[in-house]
Structure 1
């Protein structure tokens, strides 16, 4: 399967961001992509750098305007498309939601981000209610997609449950970068760890991983910090964590990569981690801490 990844910077001009995304999606399709993955909260700037209730006006229902707009494009191009939207579920209840659009433009399914961070410049708990749809892969015409979102990527439990529920591919729309309170050297360590942990999920579950991150500098609207310089480095792996493609930190554009879903069968026969799991001894995983 050919998978397209779109890595781009965003501005406060939502319509311009969407037009830029559409052009990049079209380029992916022209290069043969059957599945295209976008970055986290791709329609706007990453608004969680500050706590501002008026920014909840950015939220929209699902289905809604974005699923209609991108659905029409997916149908025109004959591709499956992974979106990342600010979902308005009800007054005061909002989610960070990935939506998968089928080739016919219909919604194949959605996933609500389960792990919600609260860190300097990443004040997501102010905006997002934790997901309640579980770790359920989404069936599509190109395969069974285990779609997670950003902070979920640090949790092996999330990747494992998607794998145990039949995912053929792990997908992570992402918005992560360095904050200026950390030295440059520390930011490099963090960026490498971010990629490394996801490659570990690939190895541990025998599954390909597609991670699409934002790039560029986005300023803190309050002026209290220097904002976020996103790491970029979107990447794809095979089922043994091998890198198939990687963007540079500041690179914008698209990459289309060949992902062999059938290789999982071969890999899991040689590395049968799922077979050898001691499920009878894992009860303590449900505790916050072992002591």
Structure 2
């Protein structure tokens, strides 16, 4: 496949999983009706972003890898004959939970998953309380491995992973044809407008840079809407949306604003080969001098 019709659902979410999933389904159906073959949903789209506070009762929201949310999305993928990349709060075992992306491939159902590797712990984003980092490397495979699908090899990463060039590079080196980032990011409403703009610009630039540095298209799905802080310690988070699809030179192919929407575009996957021929970053990497990258810091 050289041309991929890809789309993104950008939506608010509610505490009620049924309502949130129905909203996701509406977007998926709208995109499928346009001929979209691959649909990316945002991080934790079945619930509100519960990591604003630490609450052990929240663990009741978690599901097995092949639980109700995955099964719901798998049924949609079969019905609409599309590939869907969704997101779940995974209960792997008692006391062991992950922030997990699931890949549903047309009639095949669940064919792969990726457990978020980089876990933040910041005011309003207390994810380390809820999520264990992914450990696929410990299971005998690379920590960052593309998922082979009927529409190509997908380098699926999740939110905080998007700030790390190492993650994108390792996916590219393992043969990913496309980088995908389901995301939940927004502003602290108390920040000044200029600071909010700097944060959003940095978020956009870093992911477009992954496209450039690796010669790969990038898809980013972010949520929208204000979600209150259950602890009332802050004014909550205003999720800024701005989902986008970029080509292998970082060029915007489709871009959303801050409102609920869907967006889609056709991606020429063959351009990666052309771009890498004139900007051969993989060829010119000095792998003989990169050993220190495995250190925390060079003192």
What residue number does 1:228 align with? 237
Q: Equivalents in 1 of 2:108, 2:235: separation in Å?
A: 40
Residue number among 242, 253, 261 corresponding to 2:269 in the alignment: 261
Distance 2:145 2:190 in 1: 37
Query: What does residue 281 of structure 2 align with?
Result: 273
User: How many angstroms does 1:105 deviate by?
Assistant: 4.3
Distance 1:25 1:180 in 2: 30
- Measure how far apart 1:290 and its partner are: 1.3
> Within 1, Cα distance between the matches of 2:128 and 2:193?
27
Tell me the TM-score normalized by structure 1.
0.98
1:49 equivalenced with 2:65 (yes/no): no
Partner residue of 2:146? 137
- Report SS of the residue matched to 1:275: helix
Task: Verify the 8 A CA contact 1:73 1:105 in the aligned structure 2.
Answer: no
2:170 to 161, 168, 174: 161
| Corresponding pairs, count | 290
1:1-291 alignment, distance < 5 Å: 1-133=4-136, 134-249=143-258, 251-291=259-299
Structure 1 counterpart SS, 2:272: helix
Compute the displacement of 1:199 (Å): 0.3
Q: Is the 8 A contact 1:36 1:82 kept in 2?
A: yes
For residues 283 and 28 of structure 2, the distance between their equivalents in structure 1, rounded to whole angstroms, comes to 39
Q: Which runs of 5 or more structure 1 residues have no equivalent in the other structure?
A: none
Shift of 1:182: 2.5
Secondary structure at 2:107's aligned position in 1? coil
Contact map agreement 2:14 2:46 (CA 8 A) in 1: no
Query: Which SS does the other structure have where 1:193 is aligned?
Result: helix
Mapped to 2, the partners of 1:16 and 1:130 lie a distance apart of 28
Q: CA deviation at 1:13?
A: 2.0
CA-based RMSD: 0.8
Q: Distance in 2 between matches of 1:210 and 1:93?
A: 29
- The answer to whether the Cα contact below 8 Å between 1:4 and 1:35 also exists between their aligned partners in 2 is yes
Q: Tell me if the contact between 1:175 and 1:213 (Cα under 8 Å) persists in the aligned partners.
A: yes
